[in-house]
Structure 1
Amino acid sequence: MTITPDPAVRRLPTQEITTTTDTREILANARRDTERYGLDDYFIVDVDSHHVELDSWPEILQYLDSPVLRDSANQMMRNWPNAARLALHNHSPGLTMQDVSGRIPHQASLGEETPGTTSGADRDATLVRRAMDAMSIDVQVVFPQPMLETGLHPQPEVATALLQAYNRWFTAEVLPREPRIRTMLGLPFENPDACLETIEEFADTPGVIGFLVTSQRHAGVHRNAYMPVYRELERRGLPIGFHAGPNQADTMTSTMNRFLSAHAMSFVTCNMTHMTNWVVNGIPERFPGLKTIWIESGLAWLPFMMQRLDHEYSMRQSDAPLLTRPPSHYIREMYYTSQPMEWTDDKLLAATLEAIDAENTLMYSSDWPHWDFDVPGRIAALPFVSEHGKRNILGETARKVFSLGG
């Protein structure tokens, strides 16, 4: 996609970035990569980006079906000022460590000016559009942020209601404002019947290209109750994604005394657990046409999983009677997003990409506006990926997985 740079946008020294800095100024250097690698000639799909749904929370809560929950939310927002943008949510703002004690402040609040916007949804669409244009992105898949923690909500029925309200708000208010925005809607995984209802309600909605499980949750994805959900997604040709998220309070991370430690592990181990149950219980054999995507877990864990599960399977095949091949074969046939790509050693990264057949299974993601985001030039700079592979990773694989056409 060819974008004409805004002459008023400048490149900023890092120390000038604040919570009110314009997205286009933060991403001005992305244009340098676009010109250097000729990315205007690529079809680029960003498979994982975010908006801050809590900025629009009062609007979202009005989409709650239950008048009792809706009234409770309104009372919370009216009587508890600190709950104005958190009512009924399980997000813990007191442990928001992402801005590194103020040294990376932009994610703490997307406070930039958006003149002319009249609602939270209008503002969200404006901010997404700015990021897309700055990074030369043709299609951007947008997810919420704090709602990635919804699977840990202490009241499962409230978690279901919040996801349903969010899905209705996003499809009614955000998607119609920008045709380049797409989404994989979150499934209320606490309730398999509600998952099926969600698919039925939104599968044909323009801009909805798949469905999502927020991975921070204590649920066995292999339970028989979920099989109708997977069957319905397979029947409709819609992918399922598992989007990782943070958790500093489970039985493992609660022993860690640094955010760095919990961040490094929690985004990976939740998807490691789900993938193990997914593969060992033969879900790929039962639903061979279901496209499965693992999102925001990085890539370094995958060779470990392939080797570890193959090793165990070679000695205990009777524990995985549905499998007809070693676990690594199924892992190699699933899909992955690139962010965060652990590029600290060329040889290790090259081996990882080869192990997962990245030129055919990896899809670019920015993870914008998170503090550790990656621009498309990150993929274009890979010295051990072919030109054909780079085009696939940046957009062509996503075109096939999501049936984007054209």
Structure 2
Amino acid sequence: MSDVIDRPISEREAPAQSRLRIIDCDIHPSIRAHSDLDPFLPKRWQEHLKTYGSHLRTPYIGTTPYPRSSPLIARRDAWPPTGGVPGSDLAFMQKQHLDPFDVEFGILQVLDLFIFSQQNLEFGAAIQRAVNDWQLAFWSHRDPRLKASILVGQDDTQLAIAEIDRCAKTGEYVQINVSPRANEPLGRRRYWPIYARAQELGLPVGIHVGGYGGHAVTGGGWPSYYAEEHQSNAHTMAAMLTSLVLEGIPERFPELRIVFIEGGFGWIPSAMWRMDQHFEKFRSEVPHLKRRPSEYVKQHFWFTTQPIDEPDEARHLRSLIEWVGVDRLLFSSDYPHWDFDDPRYAFKTPLTEVERGKIFNSNARGVYKL
């Protein structure tokens, strides 16, 4: 962890008035206490949560399989002085992140309570519904800069569609979130109704790293170290991109926008190259694809920048950005997590003003219709 990240913002240089306001596509709010959800959670499920807690698709109870590098995945300076966990205090988030960096909009990404990974799908749906309402009441309504996402568990499509429709009626959510670690690869037919409804509503589908689908997080089994598990997030995202493209989701839903969140972008060029090579050899197997896979990626998918894969030489990062396409990248900080990207220092390679404008603002404005 860098010394820059460890030091509180108040002790660093104060940023000058920004000429470019930032749209941050990955901010993590946290639930201060389970009781905060009680106004949005039926009594049955309140008692269920107290009595039985979470029942996850992992061999662990109520925790992630691997310890994090610091408590709650958080920066050391992100713990609010008023108490509570990082990301649970709006005033502190405003003081530490939203105001100093002139964040015009922040897209909320909730990870609490393993909402995508509950074995009891009905309980999972109740928690998702409560968290969706909590996002508005505790965050978006108190600070209109913060935009909520509709969280749904994709493995019960009927419940997911019902929740999407309920939330979409308010007009206050900017995307539909599903988990990349589902029961099956995300391109499978069972998930198509979610994509169809997202296209009908004009809402992007956001896919944030994480979740537990009941399978090992790597293709070879459970890793030994947290460093392996953390690295596997990129492998998961590459697998899901391949599934979505080769199963023909962009071809079947041509107006659908898909955002990969917190998976980095260093792996994208090689994934596109390999898909294109295989497509040339096996195109008779996938007649539903009318174009090369890379063409679908460059038209229908966007990728948030964090964590930025930073090679030693700036020119290599420059080449990577050009391969992926500057129009495909959306800035994200991952606040308040330990691998947070400070927008002032996020890119080792220089960006032109046009490129900065796209990555830090206009690309997200277009994708999310802000």
Three-state SS of the structure 2 residue aligned to 1:128 is helix
- Alignment-derived partner of residue 386 in structure 1: 352
> Relative to structure 1, is the Cα distance of residues 125 and 357 closer, same or farther in structure 2, using a 3 angstrom cutoff?
same
| Greater helix share, structure number | 1
Secondary structure in 1 matching 2:80:
coil
**Are the equivalent residues in 1 in contact too, given 2:147–2:172 (CA < 8 A)?**
yes
CA contact (8 A) 1:31 1:135 kept: no
Map residues 205-216 of structure 1 onto 2, 5 A cutoff. 205=170, 207-216=172-181
Is 2:332 the partner of 1:355? no
Alignment of 1:105-116 (within 5 A): 106-107=74-75, 111-114=79-82
TM-score (norm. length: structure 1): 0.79
Confirm whether residue 377 of structure 1 aligns to residue 349 of structure 2: no
Q: How far apart, in 1, do the equivalents of 2:340 and 2:164 lie?
A: 30
Corresponding residue of 2:67: 97
Contact 2:25–2:330, Cα closer than 8 Å, also in 1: yes
| TM-score normalised by length of structure 2 | 0.86
1:57-88: per-residue Cα shift (whole Å, max 9, x none)? 222255234x4332222345xxxxxxxxxx33
Q: Following TM superposition, by how much is the alpha carbon of 1:31 offset from its aligned partner in structure 2, in angstroms?
A: 5.0
Question: For 1:179 and 1:59, how far apart are their aligned partners in 2?
Answer: 20
SS at match of 1:336: strand
In structure 2, stretches of 5+ residues that fail to align are none
**1:229 maps to which residue?**
194
Contact kept, 8 Å, 1:98 with 1:371, in 2: the verdict is no
Q: Tell me the alpha carbon deviations over residues 10-29 of structure 1, each in whole angstroms, 9 at most, x when there is no partner.
A: xxx95996xxxxxxx62346
Letter of the 1:189 counterpart: Q
Residue aligning to 2:45: 69
Q: Is the 8 A contact 1:28 1:134 kept in 2?
A: no
Residue aligning to 1:79: none
User: How far apart in 2 are the matches of 1:94 and 1:277?
Assistant: 25
Any conservation in 1 of the 2:76–2:338 contact (CA below 8 Å)? no
Q: Does the 8 Å contact 1:186/1:213 carry over to 2? A: yes
Shift of 1:272: 1.8
Residue 251 of structure 1: how far off its partner (Å)? 5.2
> Residue in 2 aligned with 1:60?
37
Q: Distance between the aligned counterparts of 2:203 and 2:64, measured in 1?
A: 37
1:271–1:251 CA distance, 2 compared to 1 (3 A): closer
Q: What RMSD over aligned residues (CA atoms) do the two structures have, in Å?
A: 3.1
User: Are residue 238 (structure 1) and residue 219 (structure 2) matched?
Assistant: no
CA contact (8 A) 1:151 1:215 kept: no
Q: Can you give the 5+ residue segments of structure 1 that lack an aligned partner in the other structure?
A: 1-12, 18-24, 77-86
After superposition, residues 178-327 of structure 1 pair within 5 angstroms as: 178-205=143-170, 207-245=172-210, 249-250=216-217, 252=219, 254-265=221-232, 267-327=233-293
Contact conserved, 2:29 with 2:88, CA < 8 A, in 1? Answer: no
Over alpha carbons, which structure has the higher Rg?
1
- With over 3 angstroms needed to count, the CA separation of the structure-2 counterparts of 1:16 and 1:217, relative to structure 1, is closer
